[in-house]
Amino acid sequence: MTALRVIRAIAERGSTTAAAESMHMSQSAVSKQLLTVEALLGVQIFLRRPTGMVPTQIGEIYIEQALVAIKAMEDAAFRVARLQSDPHMLRLKVLPIFGDRWLLPRFEDFSRQHPEIEVQYTTFAADSPAEQPDGVFRFGRGPFPNEDMLYLFGRDVRLVCTPDYLAGLGACQTLDDLAQGTVFEHPGTPLHWADLIAAHGRQDLPARKIVQFDYYTLVLRAAISGQGLALVPFQLIETELGAGQLVNPGAISYASDIGYWFTIPADRKPSAALRVFRDWLGGQI
């Protein structure tokens, strides 16, 4: 398997030096693996050229089949790892703002009810198949192919700001009034002024000023600090609305077709711990 991975790395990176770096091996060790395979086959797998190493015609065939073999072995290791994994451990992929504002404030309840289950959180996709998450929190329209889905929330989107910011606008209560304010948006999150006015049949009503942030957490932080207006799923700002830190002027909102979901691969049998967690989630919505 090491030799096969070396062949793959050379094909991808074009040299033994670059392949060695990617595999955390020495260049001489990579070259030795390659020479061993070529000696076994009795042919060259790569042509050595000044611009890099290029697969020969036979090499292309061998590399193609080597990739099939590597994937088969990785899949087998993944399935074995799943069977041998700790039945009381969960790996969950969580969107940062969802985890910060909704999941973690409630998670103490789950930990108190199920102290035997250890939950690990990640915000990134795992490189190793054996380290892939058991469940994923997603934000989107759905359905998600090959996933069993539990809808959580997100379709109730409110336009919010602080009481002081609203007073500065003149206690606005209509869309026309609020269009004179500053609206914060995240370009990658489809919760925009354009969606709000379209839902109200007012496509001809642009906001006076729209400011975009690369992180949706900054959109919410800017609104909470009194700098402008933001469109936010109700459940993410329920606490601030209840405490009066934020207000929803004119009760202006819209029903989005996008929401938060918890998904599980449909082709994977969920563990007992995952079933318990999913049931707990269902009780929170």
Predicted pLDDT at 88:
80
Give the tokens for residue 59. 């090499």
Q: Are residues 139 and 266 in the same domain?
A: yes
219 contacts 202 by C-beta, under 8 angstroms: no
Q: Are residues 39 and 176 in the same domain?
A: no
* CATH code at position 6: 1.10.10.10
Q: Are residues 129 and 189 in the same domain?
A: no
Q: What is the pLDDT of residues 196-227, one digit of tens each?
A: 999 999 989 999 999 999 889 999 999 999 99
Predicted pLDDT at 130:
53
Domain that holds residue 265: 89-154+260-283
Number of folded domains that form the chain: 3
Q: Is the pTM of this model over 0.75?
A: no
Q: Are residues 149 and 269 in the same domain?
A: yes
Residues in contact with 239: Cβ distance below 8 Å, sequence separation at least 6, in sequence order: none
Predicted pLDDT at 123:
76
Residues in contact with 236: Cβ distance below 8 Å, sequence separation at least 6, in sequence order: 97, 98, 101, 102, 220
The residue assigned the tokens 């060695």 is 20
Predicted pLDDT at 254:
96
Last residue of one domain, picked from the residues 30, 61, 84: 84
Predicted pLDDT at 77:
59
Q: Are residues 114 and 169 in the same domain?
A: no
The residue assigned the tokens 């938060």 is 260
Instruction: Report, as ranges of residue numbers, the positions in the chain whose pLDDT lies below 50.
Output: 84
Distance CA 241, CA 243 (A): 5
DSSP 55-82: E-HHHHHHHHHHHHHHHHHHHHHHHHHH
DSSP 123-146: SS--SSGGG--SEEEEEESSPPTT
Distance CA 16, CA 35 (A): 11
Strands 259-265, 135-140: pairing is antiparallel
Last residue of one domain, picked from the residues 84, 118, 134: 84
Distance CA 128, CA 122 (A): 14
Q: What is the pLDDT of residues 140-185, one digit of tens each?
A: 988 899 999 999 999 999 999 999 999 999 878 899 999 999 999 9
Q: Are residues 163 and 239 in the same domain?
A: yes
* CATH code at position 148: 3.40.190.10
